[in-house]
Structure 1
Amino acid sequence: MRRRHHFHIDYAGHSVSATVQTGRTPVVEVLVDGKETGHGTTRGDQPVTVDVELPSDPPIEVSVRATPGPGTPRCMLLAAGVEDQVMPQRPY
């Protein structure tokens, strides 16, 4: 059964959101400031990392690592030079 889980964090003045759709082939979509900027797929409960850029001058490269399971999915924002940040889940 497929379910959608939503995650969000504000980082460096930008909105970073991720949607993890679970199921046989989990799909991860990443939005930066409301625009889809990356997506990825994985098998089972294997983590997937999606690389994106934040539109600043110069652009900031970050990654979203999604772990679809087991249990409730989790997302982390990964950026160079800072500690990994947990992306809180949004209920909708």
Structure 2
Amino acid sequence: MSRRHHFHIDYLGHSVSATVQTGHRSVVEILVDGKETGHTPIKDDGPVTVPVELPTEPPTAVTVRATPGPGEPSCLLLVPDGGEPREMAPRPY
């Protein structure tokens, strides 16, 4: 059975959302300001990283690290220059 888990964070004035779908077709989808900018399949319960760019001037490269399991999924936003990772808040929808 598939389940979809949603996460969100605002960073540098932009909305970054992640959907982690677990089950038969496991995948991570990333939206920046409502537009899909990253997509990667999940092969096991280990973390997967999805690089994306924020539409700043110049563009800012960030990475979303999704951990699908075991247990409840979680997502972190990894910022440039080794800054502290930021936890993405779960969204119940």
Please confirm whether the aligned pair reaches a TM-score higher than 0.5, indicating the same fold.
Answer: yes
| Partner AA of 1:33 in structure 2 | D
Q: Structure 1: how far apart are the matches of 2:42 and 2:6?
A: 17
Contact 1:30–1:39 under 8 Å retained in 2: yes
The 5-angstrom pairing of residues 19-34 of structure 1 reads: 19-34=19-34
Percent identity over paired residues: 67
Shift >3 Å, 4+ stretches = none
Q: Structure 2: how far apart are the matches of 1:5 and 1:20?
A: 5
Q: Structure 1: how far apart are the matches of 2:42 and 2:66?
A: 10
Q: Structure 2: how far apart are the matches of 1:85 and 1:62?
A: 11
| Partner AA of 1:84 in structure 2 | P
Q: Which residue of 2 aligns with 1:87?
A: 88
1:4-57 CA-partner distances (Å, limit 9, x unpaired): 000000000000000000014420000000000001112120211000000010
Q: Which residue of 2 aligns with 1:7?
A: 7
**Aligned Cα RMSD in Å?**
0.9
SS in 2 for 1:69: coil
Q: How many residues align?
A: 92
Unaligned runs of 5+ in 1: none
